[in-house]
Amino acid sequence: MVRSKRKRTREEIEEALRENERVNATQVGPEDPEDKRRRKARRRQNDSRLNKARRELNLTDRCHTIDGMLPSERVVVDTEESKEDSGNQENSFIRPEVSADQLGGSAQPATTGVALPTADEVREAAKRARRERDRIRRSNRTLSQKERDRRKQAEYQRAR
């Protein structure tokens, strides 16, 4: 059975980081090198996992849009009176129950509301976020991992 990921607040993540640091701190007495390696690996894994959760939380904060804010339509009525006397405020606020036919004008739907990001903007934001995550992941690699990737890339180029 797969459990869903528990949503954490920023405070919970920071508290978990402090707890991880305390639990996996350097021991006072002598320590077996293998135990030290395991302890450090555990600490790095937990730090990485919690920092990833914090970055995702920050990313969702930046990309958060207000749900329910969609464009709405309203009726704009063009009457001869409003064309002649644009300073007259009587015709500018029309009750929604009154139709355009009752007023003798033509009804045109006008779109109002919050501008939502287009699909292209969303894709570009996702690409930027993916490139940023890849850059961070590459910067955290060890020398042996970088060397292995260089060899793979060189072999791939030769095969082309």
**Per the confidence metrics, is the pTM higher than 0.85?**
no
88: DSSP letter? -
Q: What is the pLDDT of residue 116?
A: 78
Report which of 14, 52, 13, 37 is spatially closest to residue 137, judged by C-alpha positions.
52
List b or e across 10-41, with b for residues whose CB sees 16 or more CB atoms inside 10 angstroms: eeebeebbeebeeebeeeeeeeeeeeeeebee
How do residues 23-49 score in pLDDT, each as one tens digit? 877 777 788 889 889 888 988 998 898
Residues of the chain with pLDDT under 70: 1-4, 61-114
Q: What is the pLDDT of residue 158?
A: 92
Q: What is the pLDDT of residue 107?
A: 53
Q: What is the pLDDT of residue 15?
A: 87
Pull the structure tokens for residue 135: 């850059």
Give residue limits of the domains in the chain.
Answer: 8-65, 72-112, 117-160
88 bridge partner residues:
none
Q: What is the pLDDT of residue 127?
A: 92
Pull the structure tokens for residue 143: 């020398």
Pull the structure tokens for residue 74: 């309203």
